[in-house]
A and B are shown apart, each in its own frame.
Chain A
Amino acid sequence: MKNIVVRFCGDSGDGMQLTGNLFSSLSAILGNEISTLPDFPAEIRAPQGTLGGVSGFQVQLGAGVYTPGDKADVIVAMNAAALKVCTINKHYHDHAIVIVDTDAMTEKDLEKAQYTTDNPFTELAIPESVQIVPVALTTLTKESLKESGLDNKSILKSRNMFALGLICWLFDQPMDEAIHLLEDKFKKKPALIAPNTKVMVDGYNYGQNLALSIRQIHLEANQQPKESGRYTSIAGNKSTAWGLIAAAEKAGKHLFLGSYPITPATDILHELAGRKDMNVMAIQAEDEIAGVCTAIGAAFAGDLACTTTSGPGLSLKSEAIGLAVMAELPLVVVDVQRGGPSTGLPTKTEQTDLLQALYGRNGECPAVVLAASSSANCFDFAYEACKIALENMTPVILLTDTYLANGTALWRIPKLAELPAIKPQSVPKELKGHFNPALRDERGVRYWAYPGMEGYEHRNIGLERDADKGTISTNPANHEKMVLARKHKIAQIANQIPDVQVQANAASDTVLVGWGSTEGHLHAAADTLNCALVQFNYICPLPKNTHEVLRQFKRIIVCELNTGQFAAYLRAQFPDLNIEQYNEIMGQPFAVERIVEYASK
């Protein structure tokens, strides 16, 4: 087989995310491409065994992997509730292998999962083509660890490792690498290494020795990623954080983060709060507004300043982002989008903040908007956001989302030296003694002087400023001049960004158009449809060749996880283009098959 989709699901306390991550890392180390989708409930711990508490982790591995996959080929269901949720939500194929823990299907378990009969398989109408593999996971785990000295609770928590071992056997993954990974995972809790290793190996051997009624699945020659180098698997939030760290070091700037906890962006704060070794100053502010405002203070004082948030937080930060636009200070705002509006769907994914990022501020208030399109390239676009902000004295809003933030992908680890240079817009020495904050270079970008620099004292403002003197001005003609100067400053950034590329079948007269995190799904759909794909990472300004590229297609289908925000934006820019749109707003990534079905019409 070329690609396989595996889904681990169980109670939110069953360790499904850990199991899924370990299996994904192992697959990646063995040369597979991977794409993962953690799918957990909003509740931290819903009542055990209930439908609301089911936590899932899906991974696609193999070659030519663009997405975590629409439906699983293999399901591990740790209890009755997980089996029900997976089945109802059609998480697996009609020919899938479903491994279930029979010990977690007792009468009580069935009751908690709201079954009405005592035969869950019949009740769920699971087709006969699905191969159900009953395994007494709990009993086997207890047996495996009976001499471990662990208490009963800890033993039960190790069921996931038995399942992991079994899945490793199913895919013929070598145990030595898996053991090595476990040792690394538990290096801070060495007492847990031996029992977890034992139960995992027992799981593997269980598959091996008992020759279960299923056959091992051999993936085709594991294809290596094209570019040589060192690889790891990384989640989008972590790679975003590391992009910021790399940019600060490259620019020779101190990295400052002002942030407030919000799902699903908080992991960026966690990562940066832990990176004091990299000289990162990460502040947990008293609210979202203080998050962005402390960052603006740090930018005023000469730092590379960032704030991280999700949609509701971006709403709260709007006025302050306007201040950074007006004061022309570099600022990076990361919005990890989630389902909205209001509190909405905090743990689900959506692309619904695009128009907010573009226009959600008072006045004529242009800012740069970028969007990452994979968990790995969150690094590149976080880095690029810093570069554009520092070189153009502007706020840059980077859009990622729940799917990218929590999902993992293969990341080729760059050396700092390979990354593009970052040259902050420092003030030239000739301006000492007669500096003001309205002075611009030939591109229209103002210079950056900050406290501590002798001879550049000035007053910055959120009020309109005189185009020459930089002081407060209410002159009508001056205001128009300044509005246009700020607009021009953002527009000229188009000269610094790459052209947009046509992917997949460029010769087709149909093109799927997307932006941000949908790239993988749209790529897979375009391959199936044998049509073209144009995916945008630079939203404002758009790449200079955008119109030229799009107009060559007869059918332009803009696909988004919203009601058509990017489509509306493109129509406004290019009214001559006939733009069709395909939208889903279900809090989930696209299903490739649905895009294919729509576009085939």
Chain B
Amino acid sequence: MQASDFKSDQYVRFCPGCGDHAICMALQKAMAQIGIPTHEVAVISGIGCSSRMPHYLNTYGFNTIHGRGGAIATGVKTSHPELTVWQMSGDGDCLAIGGNHFIHEIRRNVDLNVCLFNNRIYGLTKGQYSPTSPKGFVSKSSPFGTVERPFVPAQLVLGAGGTFFARTLDVDMPTTVDCMVAAQQHKGCSIVECLVNCVIFNNGTHAWIADREQRAEHSIILKHGQKMIFGKENDKGLAVEIDPVTFVPKIIVVPADDPRVLTHDATQPDPTLHRLLGLMGQDRVVNVAAETDNELPIALGVIRNVEAETYDAAVNAQIAEVRSKAKAQSFDELTATLESWQVG
């Protein structure tokens, strides 16, 4: 299948220069690579710029109401586990108004592929701060800077018991496609945080990694089974150091040839290291005032990819099991089991 098979006839209405264009193309490429026919794919969204995505994909799509995409996608997938179900959502739709559905789809491990477009701003309502805007962020609804602590999506996902978390960047097409393909292959609730630029209201929010010059120094693309090495010259590696007094582990940068350099294991059930990896570089984005001398890169790629029973499969298996043993399987058989009496 070709990426063009997944392109709908609709004119794409994202703003010129918006990061969502790139994610849209990456999705079409990934869906073609995955190869599931268009009629077996359902793309569900809530409301927001990112939630326009279903209109541009030639699959079944449902652009619903603000925040509820997760619950609706859960209904689609659970009732019809044979379908491939994607959810398109943004940092406002998913983490603010839809926060409850988000943590519960993760907790239940519903087999969904969720693209969480994170531009740290409300774009469609024209520029208010979001749950991922850094503390102190000035926006139309926070003219003196926000006083809130933001969410780090990786931390929230792992805290909710997430089995799959990946992070990608709008300008890095190959990693984005890889993450989406991996999300589809993972059985369970796969969250792909897509860092996207809002050219109108929050331009340059990811500049420190989006800029080609800086990206190699400020980010690392994690690949399962490969050494954690990064840097323009591939000269740096990541290792874990345990504080001898508090026993708190932390990730440190070491030379690439240091024997302590870690090999990425996305399938490790214990989330401790995945959390540390997910938090790398986040101090740069949780507080606008933070003076960081932290040299840790932000992690891109698939950070966590663990197998666990999915909700949709378990629900359907339980029904099949009860039904296989049930004496009454139809309405008439069911009513025959009632305590009843004949009249006339």
Question: A residues near B, CB below 8 A?
Answer: 25, 28-29, 31, 181, 184, 224-225, 227-232, 242, 245-246, 249, 254, 256, 258, 275-281, 283, 285-287, 289-290, 293-303, 305, 319-320, 322-323, 327, 412-416, 450-463, 471-472
B148 to chain A, nearest CB (A): 23
Identify which of B8, B316, B331, B340 contacts A416 (C-beta below 8 A): B331
Q: Which 9 A-B pairs have the closest CB atoms?
A: A297-B75, A228-B344, A277-B326, A294-B75, A293-B71, A276-B322, A459-B61, A298-B79, A290-B71
B101 touches A286 (CB 8 A): yes
Question: Which positions 284-331 of chain B face chain A at CB distance < 8 Å?
Answer: 315-316, 318-319, 322-323, 326-331
A370 to chain B, nearest CB (A): 21
- In the assembled complex, 10 residue pairs joining A and B whose CB atoms fall closer than 8 Å, in A order, are A181-B339, A227-B344, A228-B343, A256-B79, A277-B323, A277-B334, A283-B315, A286-B104, A322-B65, A459-B54
Question: How many B residues touch the partner, as a band?
Answer: 35 or more
Identify which of B8, B44, B63 contacts A463 (C-beta below 8 A): B63
- Assess A276 versus B54: contact at CB under 8 Å? Given A232-B339, A293-B75: no
Identify which of A287, A416, A451, A459 contacts B80 (C-beta below 8 A): A451
Report the Cα distance A232→B340, complex, angstroms. Answer: 5
* Chain B, Cβ-Cβ closest to A296: B72
Report the Cα distance A105→B238, complex, angstroms. Answer: 78
B319 touches A279 (CB 8 A): yes
Report the Cα distance A285→B100, complex, angstroms. Answer: 11
A5 to chain B, nearest CB (A): 23
Identify which of B65, B79, B322, B340 contacts A277 (C-beta below 8 A): B322
Question: B residues near A, CB below 8 A?
Answer: 8, 10, 37-42, 44, 47, 54-55, 58-65, 68, 71-80, 82-83, 100-101, 104, 315-316, 318-319, 322-323, 326-332, 334-335, 338-344
Report the Cα distance A459→B64, complex, angstroms. Answer: 10
Residues of chain B within 8 A (CB-CB) of A289 are 68, 71, 101
Excluding A303-B80, A459-B62, 7 further A-B contacts by CB distance (< 8 Å) are: A231-B340, A289-B68, A293-B75, A297-B73, A301-B79, A457-B39, A471-B55
Residues of chain A within 8 A (CB-CB) of B339 are 25, 29, 181, 184, 232
Identify which of B61, B77, B80, B330 contacts A458 (C-beta below 8 A): B61
Identify which of B71, B322, B341 contacts A294 (C-beta below 8 A): B71
Residues of chain B within 8 A (CB-CB) of A245 are 331, 334
Identify which of B37, B44, B83, B101 contacts A290 (C-beta below 8 A): B101
Identify which of A228, A297, A414, A458 contacts B74 (C-beta below 8 A): A297
Report the Cα distance A204→B10, complex, angstroms. Answer: 78
Identify which of B63, B79, B104, B330 contacts A297 (C-beta below 8 A): B79
B101 touches A302 (CB 8 A): no
* Chain B, Cβ-Cβ closest to A415: B332
A120 to chain B, nearest CB (A): 38
* Chain A, Cβ-Cβ closest to B325: A277
- Assess A300 versus B72: contact at CB under 8 Å? Given A323-B65, A451-B41, A452-B80: yes
Report the Cα distance A283→B315, complex, angstroms. Answer: 9
Identify which of A225, A249, A294 contacts B331 (C-beta below 8 A): A249
A297 touches B76 (CB 8 A): yes
Report the Cα distance A457→B61, complex, angstroms. Answer: 8
Residues of chain B within 8 A (CB-CB) of A451 are 39-42, 60, 76, 80, 83
A462 touches B64 (CB 8 A): yes
Report the Cα distance A458→B40, complex, angstroms. Answer: 12
Residues of chain A within 8 A (CB-CB) of B54 are 459
Report the Cα distance A545→B319, complex, angstroms. Answer: 45
Report the Cα distance A232→B79, complex, angstroms. Answer: 32
A22 to chain B, nearest CB (A): 11
B61 touches A281 (CB 8 A): no
A413 touches B78 (CB 8 A): no
A284 to chain B, nearest CB (A): 11
Looking at B40, B73, B318, B341, the one whose CB has the most chain A CB atoms below 10 A away is B341
Residues of chain B within 8 A (CB-CB) of A459 are 8, 10, 54-55, 60-63
A457 touches B100 (CB 8 A): no
Report the Cα distance A55→B41, complex, angstroms. Answer: 53
B257 to chain A, nearest CB (A): 49
Report the Cα distance A434→B253, complex, angstroms. Answer: 57
Identify which of A224, A254, A275 contacts B343 (C-beta below 8 A): A224
Report the Cα distance A412→B339, complex, angstroms. Answer: 12
A462 touches B65 (CB 8 A): yes
B8 touches A303 (CB 8 A): no
* Chain B, Cβ-Cβ closest to A300: B62
Report the Cα distance A227→B329, complex, angstroms. Answer: 27
A276 touches B318 (CB 8 A): yes
* Chain B, Cβ-Cβ closest to A232: B340
A320 touches B331 (CB 8 A): no
B72 touches A293 (CB 8 A): yes
Looking at A28, A181, A290, the one whose CB has the most chain B CB atoms below 10 A away is A290
* Chain A, Cβ-Cβ closest to B342: A230
Residues of chain A within 8 A (CB-CB) of B319 are 276, 279-281
A286 touches B42 (CB 8 A): no
Report the Cα distance A471→B52, complex, angstroms. Answer: 12
A404 to chain B, nearest CB (A): 19
A334 to chain B, nearest CB (A): 17
- Assess A301 versus B65: contact at CB under 8 Å? Given A230-B342, A451-B41, A457-B60: no
- Assess A450 versus B60: contact at CB under 8 Å? Given A231-B341, A281-B315, A459-B8: yes
* Chain A, Cβ-Cβ closest to B316: A281
B134 to chain A, nearest CB (A): 29
